[in-house]
């Protein structure tokens, strides 16, 4: 089994886990959980597509793969960090606000891509998202949520800055380690979610 299939298989399982867990908590009363669920679904779709479509010569399939990967890494992961930040503060932003924030993230990605600054944007967004998660970890009252959020932030930073295709240190780039680290980050973020809707962070 290749590193690509194994790594994305693990990522797919972790993404489905956080999608299902946050979906049960989502709704008008907890839009942050809904956002995390949707983001997990984006990441799961990207992982599945990477397993099924990588290496194919079909141009349409490769375009679809790029779209799903961009949606996962440039929209879903920052959305998860934003949702954890909101949960830690007790905010319940409405769906239109989340929709506008998603549009901002997509616009920023497109602008930096056209400016040929995609690598720098990827690294900056990873640092910003990790910082937001670390700040959220400080704000959470529950110790398990604090630990999960902090560990997730560290894993995200390590994945994006060390293991990813745009790593700052190419010698640490790892085709298996990158998706596995993102998957573990999702599992850690799942620990921040309350077990019941009545529980709060």
Q: Residue 118 pLDDT > 90, yes or no? A: no
Q: How open is the CA angle 55-56-59, to the nearest 5 degrees?
A: 120
pTM beyond 0.85: the answer is yes
The structural domains of the chain, with segments of one domain joined by +, span: 3-190
Beta carbons of 22 and 33 less than 8 angstroms apart: yes
Q: Residue 201 pLDDT > 70, yes or no? A: no
Task: Specify the residue for token string 């790029």.
Answer: 66
Q: Residue 152 has what pLDDT?
A: 96
Q: Residue 79 has what pLDDT?
A: 97
For 149-192, the pLDDT digits (tens) are 999 999 999 999 889 887 877 777 888 899 999 999 999 999 88
Surface-to-core class of residue 145, CB atoms within 10 Å of its CB (0-12 exposed, 13-18 middle, 19+ buried):
buried
Q: Residue 110 pLDDT > 60, yes or no? A: yes
Q: Residue 195 has what pLDDT?
A: 64
Hey, how many other C-beta atoms are within 10 angstroms of the C-beta on 119? 14
Q: Find how far residue 75's CA is from the centre of its chain.
A: 8
Cα 149 to Cα 32: distance, rounded to the nearest angstrom: 15
> Averaged over 59-70, what is the pLDDT?
92
Q: Residue 197 has what pLDDT?
A: 47
Q: Residue 153 has what pLDDT?
A: 97
């Amino acid at each position: 089994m290749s590193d690509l299939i194994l790594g994305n298989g693990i990522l797919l399982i972790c993404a489905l886990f956080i999608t299902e867990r946050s979906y049960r908590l989502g709704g008008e009363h907890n839009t942050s959980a809904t956002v995390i669920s949707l983001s997990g679904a984006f990441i799961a779709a990207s992982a599945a597509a990477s397993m099924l479509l990588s290496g194919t010569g079909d141009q349409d399939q490769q375009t679809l793969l790029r779209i799903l990967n961009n949606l996962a890494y440039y929209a879903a992961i920052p959305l998860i960090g934003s949702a954890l930040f909101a949960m830690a503060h007790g905010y319940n932003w409405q769906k239109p606000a989340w929709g506008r924030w998603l549009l901002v993230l997509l616009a920023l990605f497109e602008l930096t891509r056209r400016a040929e600054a995609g690598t720098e944007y990827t690294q900056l967004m990873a640092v910003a998202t990790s910082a937001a998660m670390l700040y959220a970890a400080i704000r959470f009252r529950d110790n398990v949520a604090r630990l999960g959020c902090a560990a997730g932030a560290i894993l995200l930073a390590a994945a994006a800055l060390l293991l990813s295709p745009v790593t700052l240190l190419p010698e640490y780039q790892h085709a298996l380690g990158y998706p596995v680290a993102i998957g573990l980050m999702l599992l850690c973020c799942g620990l921040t979610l309350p077990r019941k809707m009545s529980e709060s962070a």
